[in-house]
Amino acid sequence: MNNAPPPAEGPKPISYTLKRDAEGFFGRWRDKWLGWWQSKRFRLATYAVLVFFALILLAWTIFARNLPDAEALIEYESPLPTVVRDVNGEPFHSYARERRVQLEYADFPKTLVHAYLAAEDKTFFSHGGIDYPGIVSALFDNIFSNKRSRGASTITQQVAKNLLLTNEYSYTRKVKEAILAKRIENALTKPQILSLYLNEIALGRQAFGVEAAAQAYFAKSVDQLQLHEMAFLAILPKAPERYGRAKNAELAIARRNWVLGEMRANEWITDPQLASARAQPLGLVTQRGTGYKNIGGYFAEEVRRQLIEKFGETDSAGPYSVYSGGLWVRSSMNPEYQLLATKALRDGLLRYNAGKAWKANLGTIDVTDDEWPSRFASTNIGIDYANWRAGVALGKGRVGFADGTIARLNGGPAAMKAGDVIAVAPQGTNSFVVRSVPEVGGGMVVQNPNNGRVLAVQGGFDNRISSFNRATQAQRQPGSTIKPFVYATALDNGMTPTSIIVDGPYCVWQGANLGQKCFRNFSGSGAGPQTMRWGLEQSRNLMTVRAAAESGMDNVTDTFRAMSIGDYPDYLSYALGAGDTTVLKMVNAYSMLVNHGRELKPTLIDFAQNRKGKVIWPAKWKSCTGCRAPDWNGKPMPRFAAAGKQVMDPITAYQVVHMLEGVIERGTAVTLRELDRPLFGKTGTTTGPTNVWFIGGSPHLVAGLYLGFDQPRNMGGYAQGSSLAAPIFKQFARTAMAGMPKTPFVAPAGTRLVRIDRKSGKRVYGAWPGADPKGAVIWEAFKAETEPKRSIRQDELAARGDKPKKKTTSQTDGAASTTTSPSASVGTKRDQEFIQQEGGIY
């Protein structure tokens, strides 16, 4: 046995494993997770949570991902109609496809608010946008009922649907409504939400919002409604087309009384109020118009066209569109002048039409069934002349109206048949007689010649019969009304009002294609050599053509273009009005003559404001502070620079106006002389005759018109501007100008006013113009150094049979005498009086 000790062992190796605390933490949780995962319940619970979040994500993707932003309602602007005001600021027309009036929340009567809460959402001020008990009740009813799904929408949800969603019936929309309702409640206050609802809810009769509905159903504002009327409006959101019809009055009353009962249950009204309101009838008015006066239909239509061209028609065109932009437009329409122009033109059309055979010129509709009232109403044909009404012939001596009523028709033309739309006037009790609407048309424009503002437009007999505006759209030949601008060209090319022009046969070779053209006067005869003034006063065609030829037809057409009449070729026939133009253009051209040849742009719109009152058109518009102040404040008065460029020599323009005064005094428009005030004007009759014209006015007012068929045809040999058109202007001017001062036309600086012999055009000394418009001596206007140098002696006047003013033996006939006799002093004194009267030496 070996007892030797074992050999000594070396040191044993030691290994260490370092573990971080975090790894130990996750490791412990991993161990626990693995332990839990072994449990079936834990795995099911995990799957349920994952499915729940997946469903939330799916629901967000389906319902909420592309929903509109609820905060957009904070800046929401309701689509509002455009309202047009006249020159006095009074509304007279609106452009609307829907009735809309927007109010603030404070403007709604508290009882009206309670009526809507009772009918639609009693817990509105307490819920957060969703009525959960109502949803459960609606789901129960929808599952166990075969009727159409019943909703449980709160007012907030209805706002979401009306303003942010569509009207589809689906559970998808309901979910979206609920999501948006919660968002709206977070973005807006309860009064803001309720205000949106009451302003936007559709209530039938094209009315949106309770104020528009109050006007449509009761012809009242909301602050004038009685309790039973408020309760009726509250039932309309459910079924406006059913409850708003007279034939369903019993259903409406039952529903209204239910709302009243709900209001009592919520202690918003008392028992006596409940009983009194339930005893009331509905009291609905018939369908109403816009509530504006029926005036200026053609004017308003022209304004509408201009606004659409500037801002567009619907909201897709921009924020200031005509039918939804809520514009307030100040127009230049003078209601007094508009009414006078409308009546004058209509009376003139009726005078021409008197005695002519009746024609069915208003259209026809089918009257073979009971739907004829709606067909007739859809035509929108109406007449507001005197006591006339538009109706439809039903046959067997009956006439029907748009509201479905039928009356007896006394007699009637043989050409009338059932279905013809006719004009009738009352005759006896519930009976009518046929009236004839003129087939001939016409247009009239009234303008301020100092600034170009159009004050009245009448484009036919009635715009509800024909919307075609003959004053601004009809292209017609102006005839002799264009002659003043031919003579203006002659005056600018060396002639004077006393220049002698031959009134005799005139032919001109117009080239191989057109051959020789010969012109003639309206009467067919010539008067030999005459002054330019006489030719214009008597409207002599041959003298006009000669003046155009001598001046250069290219210069004449340049004048037409400068005066914005039209762009015509250089043919002599255009000097007699062969080119087409409009009444508006011609009236504006005459206004530029009164304005001393300075350019005018005819305007119907003074300015346009957005719904917040800011002027958005014209771009450089500035208000005139203090312009309507009753008294002068003592400060320097404003001085406005002349607007528009000079398109005609101012003296030339005045010379033409001065000669056109002679047309009134002794020419083709002498019928206007009895108005007894300074007037100028010109008649016109085109070949056929197919059109008759008159344009003229005073220093403050210019008006023009024409009469003619829409499809030009002969109006009859008796038709002339002097016999048909001038009397219409006369009827208008007699009342329109009654209160105006009798202000003469003012000559521009540099004009020389000289006494001349009216017939020869020679200068006269010692004789004075008298009160007789056909006197031998008249004042004539000349440019410097163009007046006649020769004089006509008293003995020459006496030899011709004229009777000049008696003069004393000491007066001289030639140049001014160097003597200082009393008679010479009298003459000098009269010269000074005239100079002072005219405002100075021109």
Q: Which residues contact 550 (CB under 8 A, 6 or more apart)?
A: 490, 493, 495
Q: What share of the chain is helix, strand, coil (3-state, %, to 5)?
A: 40, 15, 45
Cross-strand bridge partners of residue 99: 207
Name every residue whose Cβ is closer than 8 Å to that of residue 723 and which is 6 or more positions away in sequence: 692
Beta bridge partners of 834: none
| CB contact at 8 A, 724 and 353 | no
Contact 726/672 with Cβ under 8 angstroms?
yes
Tokens read off for 349:
């059309």
To the query of whether residue 120 is one of the catalytic residues in this protein, the response is yes
Cα-based distances in Å from 580 to 476, 510, 589, 686: 5, 21, 14, 11
Determine the 3-state secondary structure of 423 from DSSP. Answer: strand
Structure tokens belonging to residue 330: 């100040």
Given a contact cutoff of 8 angstroms between Cβ atoms, the answer to whether 409 and 434 are in contact is: yes
Contact 261, 274 (CB under 8 A): yes
Two tokens, residue 637: 């008065």
Element holding 28 (H helix, E strand): helix 21-37
Residue type, 694: F
Residues 6+ apart with CB under 8 A from 211: 101, 102, 103, 107, 199, 221, 222
Residues pairing with 528 in the sheet: 503
Instruction: Tell me the C-alpha distance between 138 and 141, whole Å.
Output: 5
- Distance from C-alpha of 543 to C-alpha of 526, rounded to nearest angstrom: 9
Residue 593 parent element (H or E): helix 583-594
Q: What is the 3-state secondary structure (H, E, C) of 173-215?
A: HHHHHHHHHHHHHHHCCHHHHHHHHHHHCECCCCEECHHHHHH
Distances (CA, A) of 744 to 210, 536, 658, 700, 773: 56, 20, 10, 10, 15
Strand pairing class (763-764; 791-792): parallel
> What is the distance between the alpha carbons of residues 623 and 715, in angstroms, rounded to a whole number?
49
Q: Which two tokens stand for residue 286?
A: 């018939």
DSSP run (H or E) holding 301: helix 297-311
Pairwise CA distance, residues 666 & 81, whole Å: 52
The DSSP bridge pattern shows strands 441-447 and 454-458 to be: antiparallel
Q: Is the dihedral of CA 437, 443, 447, 449 positive or negative?
A: negative
Instruction: Say if residues 706 and 668 touch (Cβ distance below 8 Å).
Output: no
Measured distance CA(480)–CA(586) in Å, rounded? 11
From CA 200, how far away is CA 78, in angstroms rounded? 8
Token pair listed for 17: 């494993």
Return the sign of the alpha-carbon dihedral for residues 171, 174, 176, 179. Answer: negative
Contacts (Cβ under 8 Å, ≥6 apart) of 423: 362, 383, 388, 389, 390, 391, 434, 435, 436, 437
DSSP 251-263: HHHHHHHHHHHHH
Question: Catalytic: 564?
Answer: no
Q: How far apart are alpha carbons 505 and 524 in whole angstroms?
A: 10
Element holding 329 (H helix, E strand): strand 328-331
Q: Give which of 323, 376, 362 is closest to 462, Cα–Cα.
A: 362
Which among 120, 302, 537, 787 is annotated as catalytic?
A: 120
Catalytic residue among 195, 331, 332, 480: 480
Active-site residue set: 120, 480
